[in-house]
Amino acid sequence: MSTTRIALVTGANRGIGAAIAAGLAAQGMTVVAGSRGGGPGTLRLDVTDDDSVRDAVAEVAGRYGRLDVLVNNAGISGGIDGQVSGEIDPEVMRTVFETNLFGVVRVTEAFLPLLRKGDGGRIINVSSGTASLTWQSDPGHAFASGRLPLAYPASKAALNMVTVMYAKTLASEGITVNAVAPGACGTDFATDLGLSLERTAEQGAAIVLHLATVAESPTGTFVQDDGPVPW
Ligand SMILES: NC(=O)c1ccc[n+]([C@@H]2O[C@H](COP(=O)([O-])OP(=O)(O)OC[C@H]3O[C@@H](n4cnc5c(N)ncnc54)[C@H](OP(=O)(O)O)[C@@H]3O)[C@@H](O)[C@H]2O)c1
């Protein structure tokens, strides 16, 4: 078996996912860059589509026979329309959860057999600081004001619970599972929401690269650059 670590990043065609893929490749990993659009150097992978995920698993199994690192990065904000309390459009909420929560579970379940064939598998879920119940319920926190989306942070809070549950279940198999908050980065994700942010996708990717490569990975944690994020 090749000693080069095999990593799959979902939503790796742009933004933080592209920076994660480039960073892992620069660390010497063989990176499979998932992209729902497909294209040169990428593997077609739509996290909301069972057939697409099944085909991606078959492709990785055929190429490498195993997976060592799974980065569940693909995510959507869902925009602001239909997402504010009192104005909720259930379809918007379902769409956000389909990608940010069910997409992660679908991909994780499908790739688990390949992760079990790897050595010390690592699953890293790209969550968000907005998922923190502690921060969201703190009236002094920056999240306390403004026109606030509901579905997006709820989907990421649910993702955090999914992270903890997988971490507990997979601990005995030596597979670690962690959630990260990349920080507010000036990707399309932010500009689509009308935000102008200076933090780069590469800065957002750094915590993922750390967890993917650190000698001893923790498990069941929610972290950002400077340490734990309060649940
Ligand atoms: N930027 C921030 O400030 C920020 C803060 C906290 C957390 N995050 C999280 O970081 C992650 C990456 O965000 P980003 O800022 O890089 O956003 P982005 O620039 O909008 O990129 C999102 C990526 O996810 C992909 N994607 C969306 N739906 C998908 C699907 N169904 N299947 C496969 N790929 C899909 C997109 O692919 P297409 O090109 O095909 O649309 C794109 O590659 C997300 O999980 C986001 O929630 C971002």
Q: What is the pLDDT of residues 128-172, one digit of tens each?
A: 999 999 999 999 998 877 778 999 999 999 999 999 999 999 999
Q: Check pLDDT > 90 for residue 193.
A: no
The question of whether 152 is a catalytic residue gets the answer: yes
Q: With beta carbons less than 8 A apart as the criterion, state whether 35 and 43 touch.
A: yes
Q: With beta carbons less than 8 A apart as the criterion, state whether 71 and 8 touch.
A: yes
Q: What is the pLDDT of residues 91-104, one digit of tens each?
A: 999 999 999 999 99
Q: What burial letters (b/e) apply to 201-230, b meaning 16+ CB within 10 Å? A: bebbbbbbbebbbeeebebbbbbbeeeebe
Q: What is the pLDDT of residues 170-188, one digit of tens each?
A: 999 999 999 999 999 999 9
The question of whether 117 is a catalytic residue gets the answer: no
**pLDDT score recorded for residue 212:** 98
Alpha carbon of 138 to ligand 1 centroid (Å): 27
Based on its alpha-carbon atoms, the radius of gyration of the chain, rounded to whole angstroms, reads 17
Q: What is the mean pLDDT of residues 192-204?
A: 93
Chain position carrying tokens 């995920």: 53
Residue 125's DSSP bridge partners are 72, 179
Q: What is the mean pLDDT of residues 15-21?
A: 98
Name the average pLDDT for the chain: 96
Domain ranges of the chain: 6-228
pTM of the model: 0.98
Architecture of the 6-228 domain: 3-Layer(aba) Sandwich (3.40)
Nearest CA to ligand 1 atom 1: 185
